[in-house]
Structure 1
Amino acid sequence: MASIDGNNVTNTASNTNVNNDHMPASAYTVKEAPLGTARHVRIVGIGAGASGINMVRTLRLQLRDNFEHVVYEKNSGVGGTWHENRYPGCRCDIPSHNYQFSWRPNHTWSNFFSPAEEINAYLGRICDDENMRDSVIKTEHEVLGAHWDEAQGCWLLSVANLRTGEQFSDYANFLIDASGILNNWKWPDLPGLHGFKGDLVHSARWSSDFDYKDKTVAVIGNGSSGVQIVPAIYPQVKKLVHVVRTPTWILPPRVQIFAMGPAAEMINNIELDDDENFTPEQVARFQSDPAFYRSFVKTIEKETNSNFPIMIKNSQEQAIASGQVRQYMSAMLDADERLCKALIPDYALGCRRMTPAPMYLQTLTQPNVQVVAEGIRCILPHGLELASGEVVEVDAIVCATGFDVSFCPRFPLVGRNGNLQHLWRDKLPQAYMSCAVPGLPNYFTFLGPNAPIGHGSVFTLAEHIATYIAGIIRKCQTEGIKAIVPSQAAVDDYSEHISTFMPRTAWASSCSSWYKSSGNGIVTALHPGSRIHFFHMLETFRGEDFEYVYEADGSGAVSRRNRFHYLGNGFSTKELDPDGDPTWYLDNAALAASTADSRKATTRIKAQL
């Protein structure tokens, strides 16, 4: 304590008798552990598709120790979407070398756009090589319900072993939902559907016993599955009846698009056959020339990421692209007036998912293909009754009619505010940066409301989201945080930004799309910005947007919850770790980054002066 009298400064601290022994008693005690000590946590994941598999590796890298992780997967194998979808022609519409994990490059993709079996095999190899199957992933196990227990600070789970029929209880300090949005398939709501006497299949549950050869087959739906099935089965059927409810944008072959843009030089150096398969020589070069391989991957990634300006409504890029795609579709349909009217949209390009579909449009011009552009009144035992009353007899019906995309959980998920199933049925699904939900502490999800699911490769998205989630769990594990949840105020503000931004995009235009919440047309499935915008957003954890419950120190008759209890006994794990580097801050990389930042700051200051 100091007193100031003119120019004289007198320090009176030495005259003050402070006796800590006589301070008021406190229930708080110092934690007898160094800063950085991680408490043990149990993490339960749901789903072993791309997101769930990547999460296993990310947790191993970022948490390193003192955690256990189990993943429950309802299917008999790993792979998620690529395990479930086995219909003819099923493949990814993202370039193969960009539809992979950055940490696990595959140099031997067979085609520019990988078939489903190849992607599923890629994911399976990762699980084998990384020892995930036996140690973490439990297939044929389904989570039936989850209930947040506030007192214990954990999720209480009900799980079914689908092999044995046994149900058992489990718990999780953190629950990570990687079940995905495009896996809860549904039949179309058509009267008489299950009274059909012929073969009835759904694209997401394709039966290996389904023989469509020399039959009259109806394919209902022209989404991403329908436009792949039609050209794939056409050569072997007697007649194909394709029911198109809504026109959809079909893009020219992506390789041709890339060859006309900034990636042209690279594409012209890639050897492909007429079916866009990589030649053996090209695969060999990918394997032997890592610099060329990396340049190819980065070039295609950059080109794929550059599409966002097309999504801006009324932009020049939107107008140019719309005109080009319209011309392409008309040419592929032989300028047939009826087909062009039924297939070429009058809504904004991108309002529905834009789909490259080789040979789809050409198939529709064939003489034994009937395109039905009206609704179906009902399904009869041996065919379809159209809205006009016309009856079309068929031997088989393929429903390429999609999934339940309501974001409502498939099981009761009961948090502080009740069951999310009911909450999101009654009002608009909202999440914090697509991966956390108010009222659901210690719960994280992949590709929740307003994720960039239509922006590009889900593999790279999964990596960024997993890193973000793991960082939060690490924070809780080492800072004494028992429960963490985004505040409702933060989510309200984030949702306000989304709803204000979306009208400037093509996604919010007038069309029927699974991107939107049914009934009100509000875009709930896409991120309000580019793919890079999403990555940038997740780089920084905004702690101010979250609410915390801290662990009690557990001492004395009355325990305290002190946010700084984690500071511990004055030492740091960084100095006590025998395998660590206690002078990490002198690393060349850190020093170089610091020097670069200093130079940039100096340059800015000089510019201002």
Structure 2
Amino acid sequence: MSQVNGHAEAVEPQPPLAAYTVQEQPLGSTRHIRIVVIGAGASGLNLVRTLRLNLSDFEVAVYEKNADVGGTWFENRYPGCRCDVPSHSYQFSWRQKKDWTNFFSTAEEIGEYLCRVCDEEGMRESIRTSHQVVSAQWSEKDGQWELVIRNLESGEEFSDYATFLVNGTGILNNWKWPDLDGLDSFQGRLIHTARWPKNFDHTGKTIAVIGNGSSGIQVLPELQPGAEKLYHVFRTPTWVLPPRIQAWKVMGQAGQILSQIQMDAQENFSQETIERFQSDPDFYRAFVKKIEVEVNNAFPVVLANSPVQAFARAKVTEYMTLMLGGNQELCKALIPDFPLGCRRMTPGHGYLQALTQPNVEVRRSMIKRFVPEGIELESGEILKVDAIVCATGYDTSFRPRFPIIGCDGNLQDRWRNETPKAYMSCAVAGLPNYFMFLGPNGPIGHGSVFTLTEHIAKYITSVIKKCQTESIKAIVPSAAAVDDYFEHITAFMPRTTWATPRGRSWFKNGREDGPVTALHPGSRIHFFHMLERFRGEDWEYVYMGGRRNRFGYLGNGFSTKELDPQGDTTWYLDEGAVVR
């Protein structure tokens, strides 16, 4: 009996739990699963390969909104667009390219590389281009994601499902116009660097370039020579790095091997060097590893108030002053008064020199609005131009573009109203069987995305395999684990210059003093090390069939390792097979 409002009520007897029974299957048995991946950039392609190498009894579908694979390297084709990570680091470790033409690859060459990898690995059969995910909703009853997909060519929408949903859309993907009044009133050519028109001829035109992030720094020196006049408008200065090859030759560990590399003034490899890469595998491997060491060693620079930070800042200030010809007005406008790393540090081949040319004028100013003839600055000055190039970046809020509805409602609403939080940047509390590449506080600013995606793909695949072979219907990081991880991030970030409350940065979602949401709290190696072991204690599980016994997957006492006629039942005697 129970008491309700002072009255005794009968309680219906609960049926007894069914007796536990042994599953008649060997340990290691798999259940069939369907994995849907959103995005066919580097993350999506790498995941497809990793799944194929490590799983069986599964199917994978990749939905890509663009007309071809490549992600950001399909979309970004503005003049001067290239990667600012060395080419031989910016590639898959399992598909090395020995004939990169330049030390820093162009968008076209990276795009071609990704298409070739996709074709040679036979991945296109799993990818549907020009298809966009419209919505995703978790079905607790079925233990799967219910999806709505739109064919962007026909406009048709259809349903799909996923046992596991993996978001590989990336952080620098959802480009945005500047948030200004009068955007539609401008009567000239309005261009965003992420959607560069193939037919645009800038020759003889008066142009304004808005923004001095990496896109603005790369496109401006390409437009300057042919423009009649060029205005460069930005709010916050940024640190422009000297050529890395020079710095590494003098101070880095790659100096000796770099001295054996032949390049021209534009950092194009000589044919002799490319041929040596192709014919001398030991030399090539030594070169790749030394460059990777330099990429990995960047973290100490962003430690606030450190000797490395002070030394680097002095050297970069000296370089920028030299490239600006000592012009005091330009130096005051362009050299930051905040530490290195507060905004993304960018190498800028020819950028600073272009700003000293007679057809260029710099305006460090807020923009009040767009007007029919051009741009009205905060001062009231109107810049009359033929074209405006918006190098104004992306939506870095981490809010998904489409509804992702889990146990706690729509993630769009959650991350609109609160600071985005994720578990090790890969998973979200309240979203079972959902994973992502480079989510909140991922290592997006820590060097080559290619290598990062390899580690993340292995981690995600290992969790999926655990679920597939251990009768786990749904897995999700606990809210407590996510909160603890976020607490660590919040306490750690003030140690870095990323958190400096002066420089406006996309690391802080475009704010000056907001929390750092876009970067990992540590070095690149720190991130790799963190993902080496799956912390099962941080996750919540729902088992298949409502079973309460977590060891049901142990089955009938046999193992799939001994039932495969082609298998090796004494693998443990092989050297290195057992970790001691």
Could you state the TM-score of these two structures normalised by the residue count of structure 2? 0.96
**1:366 equivalent in structure 2:** 357
- Deviation at residue 27 of structure 1 after TM alignment: 3.2
- Deviation at residue 26 of structure 1 after TM alignment: 4.4
In the TM superposition, what whole-angstrom CA distance separates every residue of 1:18-65 from its partner, at most 9, and x where no partner exists?
xxxxxx9943221111100111000000000000010000000111x1
SS of 1:326's equivalent in the other structure is helix
Alignment counterpart, residue 105 of structure 1, candidates 96, 108, 114: 96
The separation in 2 between residues aligned to 1:191 and 1:410, in whole angstroms, is 23
**1:508 equivalent in structure 2:** 499
1:580 aligns with 2:567: yes
**1:390 equivalent in structure 2:** 381
| Matched ranges for 1:423-438 at <5 A | 423-438=414-429
**2:10 equivalent in structure 1:** none
| Distance change in 2, residues 1:414/1:567 (3 Å) | same
Matched-pair contact (CA < 8 Å) for 1:551–1:561: no
**2:143 equivalent in structure 1:** 153
**2:4 equivalent in structure 1:** none
- Deviation at residue 518 of structure 1 after TM alignment: 5.5
The separation in 2 between residues aligned to 1:244 and 1:336, in whole angstroms, is 18
| Matched ranges for 1:526-545 at <5 A | 526-545=519-538
**2:31 equivalent in structure 1:** 39
**1:257 equivalent in structure 2:** 247
- Rg comparison, structure with higher value: 1
1:322 aligns with 2:313: yes
Matched-pair contact (CA < 8 Å) for 1:39–1:477: yes
Residue identity in the other structure for 1:49 = G
Contiguous gaps of at least 5 residues in structure 2: 1-15
In the TM superposition, what whole-angstrom CA distance separates every residue of 1:345-371 from its partner, at most 9, and x where no partner exists?
001100100000110000000000011
Structure 1 residue runs of 4 or more that deviate by more than 3 Å after TM superposition: 24-27, 517-520
Alignment counterpart, residue 30 of structure 1, candidates 22, 39, 43: 22
**2:111 equivalent in structure 1:** 120
**1:238 equivalent in structure 2:** 228
Contiguous gaps of at least 5 residues in structure 1: 1-23, 553-558, 595-609
The separation in 2 between residues aligned to 1:349 and 1:459, in whole angstroms, is 25
The separation in 2 between residues aligned to 1:245 and 1:297, in whole angstroms, is 38
> Which of 114-123 and 190-199 deviates more?
190-199
- Deviation at residue 589 of structure 1 after TM alignment: 2.2
| Distance change in 2, residues 1:439/1:368 (3 Å) | same
The separation in 1 between residues aligned to 2:245 and 2:18, in whole angstroms, is 70
**2:5 equivalent in structure 1:** none
**2:184 equivalent in structure 1:** 194
1:589 aligns with 2:580: no
| Distance change in 2, residues 1:518/1:345 (3 Å) | closer
Residue identity in the other structure for 1:184 = N
- Deviation at residue 375 of structure 1 after TM alignment: 1.6
Residue identity in the other structure for 2:200 = F
1:379 aligns with 2:379: no
Residue identity in the other structure for 2:133 = V
Could you state the TM-score of these two structures normalised by the residue count of structure 1? 0.91
**1:446 equivalent in structure 2:** 437
**2:196 equivalent in structure 1:** 206
The separation in 1 between residues aligned to 2:364 and 2:18, in whole angstroms, is 76
> Which of 516-525 and 446-455 deviates more?
516-525
**1:307 equivalent in structure 2:** 298
SS of 1:236's equivalent in the other structure is coil
- Deviation at residue 538 of structure 1 after TM alignment: 0.1
Matched-pair contact (CA < 8 Å) for 1:436–1:485: yes
SS of 2:483's equivalent in the other structure is helix
SS of 1:38's equivalent in the other structure is coil
1:563 aligns with 2:554: no
The separation in 2 between residues aligned to 1:581 and 1:341, in whole angstroms, is 70
**1:18 equivalent in structure 2:** none
- Deviation at residue 392 of structure 1 after TM alignment: 1.4
Matched-pair contact (CA < 8 Å) for 1:435–1:445: yes
SS of 1:536's equivalent in the other structure is helix
**How many residues were matched structurally?**
562
**1:16 equivalent in structure 2:** none
| Distance change in 2, residues 1:392/1:26 (3 Å) | closer
Residue identity in the other structure for 2:343 = R
Residue identity in the other structure for 1:276 = E
Question: RMSD between aligned alpha carbons?
Answer: 1.2
The separation in 1 between residues aligned to 2:141 and 2:219, in whole angstroms, is 52
**1:406 equivalent in structure 2:** 397
**1:79 equivalent in structure 2:** 70
- Deviation at residue 517 of structure 1 after TM alignment: 4.3
